């Protein structure tokens, strides 16, 4: 198979930097597999990143996220933008290269040398989706992609966190995705920067628009008022308006100096989120493998030891931290 050649960190880094598609494909596979070579590669490429503008799309299954990305690419490719797309599938440990749906939806662009598209699972990632998404974004950034779309399905807090590394977060809804509207209303989901209500031909689209508007109006004073756009992705209707809103958000971030601030916050958040995820896995494994720690859990079950005393002992043993001191300090 082509691309089976043995990549080293050096050849891979050079390939990615020159935008070589096979190097990129290999790099993302390594990222997907949590391969140690991916860590080395990203470590080497990291100083050259920070040039790509990233747009994260999230929303319930089947609302038209991939179709909208496809339509947006069609729009921006006229202006010769070098584009990358990564669809992260939280439900699958690995993607076999591409999800069938995305393959079809994005197939218009597969032959375009300026567009790189990949679906990705998160096999082997202790830090989960956030880790895989961040690494994939950095690889595409280093490859000179000016614009990167990140897609993930879902509307819970965790999906927004995954896509939260993006410069602009776009929530895609369609008439009938009432759960997401409820999640917005209840504050379960953070307010995105732009909202697209797709499949606008549906008779309930206007009702949904009003509903979302009234929720955003409750948000009080925000520097950036999230824009809401009605779209029809398959015909491309409303797509220029959607792109305008994405660009407006970008301009707002750049002009207010918030882009750097936001990226710094996102990166710090990402570091903490990956570190926490790994620490959790480490903790679970350590406890499972240590009869002494397992006995503590038994004692809790038998009500011989209270839960927080067990926590203190476990944290001391596994992480060598005095959790009482940590609690007092916070
Ligand atoms: N009528 C109509 N159908 C649409 C529109 N946008 C997308 N679709 C269709 O809706 C289906 C799902 O579209 P996708 O773009 O794959 O949706 P998605 O949100 O990426 O789906 P997942 O990645 O599986 O969550 C496809 O059959 C699309 O052709 C639209 O604006 N109107
Ligand atoms: Mg999709």
Pocket test for ligand 1, best of 106, 153, 202, 234 (most atoms within 8 A of CB): 234
Are 148 and 85 in contact, with CB atoms under 8 Å apart?
yes
Q: The pTM is what?
A: 0.87
Distance of alpha carbon 37 from alpha carbon 119, whole angstroms = 20
Q: Tell whether ligand 1 has an atom less than 6 A from the beta carbon of residue 67.
A: yes
- Cβ atoms 231, 196 nearer than 8 A: yes
In whole angstroms, give the CA distance from residue 245 to residue 254: 14
- The alpha carbon of 34 is separated from its chain's Cα centroid by a whole number of angstroms, namely 16
Please write the tens of the pLDDT for every residue from 276-297. 888 988 999 999 999 999 999 9
Higher pLDDT, 198 or 182: 198
Show Cβ contacts of residue 41 under 8 Å, excluding neighbours closer than 6 positions.
9, 12, 13, 16, 27, 30, 139
Please provide the average confidence, as pLDDT, over all residues in the chain. Answer: 87
Which is more confident, 49 or 109? 49
Any atom of ligand 1 within 6 Å of the Cβ of 152? no
- The pLDDT, as a whole number, for residue 1 is 42
The mean pLDDT value for 73-98 works out to: 76
Q: Does pLDDT of 65 surpass 60?
A: yes
Q: Looking at 7-11, 33-37, 69-73, which range is the least confident one? A: 33-37
Ligand 2 centroid, distance to 58 Cα (angstroms): 9
72 three-state secondary structure? helix
Q: How confident is the model at residue 320 (pLDDT cuts 50, 70, 90)?
A: very high
- Residue to probe by mutation, ligand 1, list 64, 101, 159, 242, most atoms within 8 Å of CB: 64
Confidence of residue 246 (pLDDT cuts 50, 70, 90): very high
Spatial distance between the Cα atoms of 124 and 33, rounded to a whole number of angstroms: 5
Average pLDDT value for residue range 261-285: 88
pLDDT, average across residues 294-311: 96
Range scoring the smallest mean pLDDT among 45-54, 100-109, 174-183:
100-109
pLDDT value, residue 2: 44
Residues 72-81: what's their mean pLDDT? 88
Give the pLDDT band of residue 101 (cuts 50, 70, 90).
Answer: low
The environment of the single-atom ion ligand 2, i.e. residues with CB closer than 5 A, is: 65-66
| Region of 87 on the Ramachandran plot (φ > 0 left; ψ -120 to 50 alpha; else beta) | beta
């Amino acid at each position: 198979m082509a691309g089976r050649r043995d990549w080293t960190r050096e050849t891979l880094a050079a390939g990615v930097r020159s935008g070589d598609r096979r190097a990129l494909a290999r790099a993302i596979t390594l990222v997907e597999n949590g391969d140690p070579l991916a860590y080395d590669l990203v470590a080497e490429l990291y100083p050259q990143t920070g040039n790509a503008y990233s747009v994260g799309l999230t929303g319930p299954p089947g609302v038209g996220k991939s179709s909208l990305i496809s339509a947006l690419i069609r729009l921006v490719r006229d202006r010769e933008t070098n584009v990358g797309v990564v669809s992260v599938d939280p439900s699958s440990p690995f993607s076999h290269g591409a999800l069938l749906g995305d393959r079809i939806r994005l197939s218009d662009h597969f032959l375009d040398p300026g567009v790189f598209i990949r679906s990705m699972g998160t096999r082997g990632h202790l830090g989960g989706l956030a880790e895989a998404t961040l690494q994939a974004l950095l690889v595409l950034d280093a490859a000179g992609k000016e614009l990167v779309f990140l897609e993930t399905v879902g509307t819970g807090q965790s999906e927004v966190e995954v896509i939260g590394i993006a410069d602009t977060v776009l929530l895609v809804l369609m008439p009938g995705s009432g759960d997401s509207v409820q999640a917005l209303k209840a504050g379960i989901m953070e307010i995105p920067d732009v909202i697209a209500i797709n499949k606008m031909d549906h008779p309930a689209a206007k009702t949904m628009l009003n509903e979302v508007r009234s929720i955003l109006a409750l948000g009080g004073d925000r520097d950036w008022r999230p824009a809401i756009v009605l779209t029809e992705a398959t015909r491309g209707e409303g797509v220029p308006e959607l792109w305008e809103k994405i660009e407006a958000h970008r301009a707002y971030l750049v002009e207010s100096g918030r882009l750097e601030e936001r990226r710094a916050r996102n990166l710090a958040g990402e570091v903490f989120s990956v570190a926490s995820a790994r620490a959790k896995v480490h903790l679970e494994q350590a406890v499972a493998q240590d009869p002494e720690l397992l006995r503590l859990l038994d004692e809790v079950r038998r009500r011989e030891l209270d839960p927080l005393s067990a926590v203190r002992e476990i944290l001391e043993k596994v992480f060598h931290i005095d959790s009482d001191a940590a609690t007092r300090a916070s």
